Structure 1
Amino acid sequence: MNNWAPPLIAAALFWLLSPGMIFQLPGKNAPFEFMNMKTTVASIFVHTVIYGLLLMLFFVVLSLHLYI
């Protein structure tokens, strides 16, 4: 049986960390903006780094893919 935890966690994190979806860091007008549905190159980079670090935390450090 296939383990669906890694792709589901990755998809959920991708959705939650899309710039402008829930928050944007850094924002266009303020350092932290909520639900503005806009993006900048800086916010794309910051959200990509956060996404990568959270994936490493969940899958490598916590070994979450082995237990679900």
Structure 2
Amino acid sequence: MAGGDWGPVSIGTVLFVLLTPGLLFQLPGKGRAIEFANMQTSGISILVHTILYFGFITIFLIAIGVHISSG
């Protein structure tokens, strides 16, 4: 049985959890520039977190080339 490259799956999952707006932090917040664990979101916050996700996943998967092999 051949092992696969789990780098993109792992990095994508971790970044998704960390950058979910309102879960750990929200940028920009409702009343401040950044709010922590408020469990609310807005359209601009979703846009900012999407841009951050795209930037980080591009850096980790293309620029650095993170690979996690199994098997």
Aligned residues: 66
Q: Which has the higher contact order (CA 8 A, sep 6+)?
A: 2
20, 26, 40: which is aligned to 1:18?
A: 20
Q: For the aligned residues, what is the CA RMSD? A: 0.8
Q: If the length of structure 1 is used for normalisation, what is the TM-score?
A: 0.92
Shift of 1:42: 0.4
Residue in 2 aligned with 1:56? 58
Structure number with higher helix proportion: 1
Offset at residue 8 of structure 1 (A): 1.2
Amino acid across the alignment from 2:23:
M
The amino acid that maps onto 1:29 is G
Query: When the two structures are superposed, what TM-score results if normalisation uses the length of structure 2?
Result: 0.88
Ranges in structure 1 where 5+ consecutive residues have no aligned partner: none
Instruction: Mark the structure with the bigger radius of gyration.
Output: 2
SS at match of 1:26: coil
Q: Which runs of 4+ in 1 moved over 6 A?
A: none
Q: How far did 1:48 drift?
A: 0.2
Shift of 1:19: 0.2
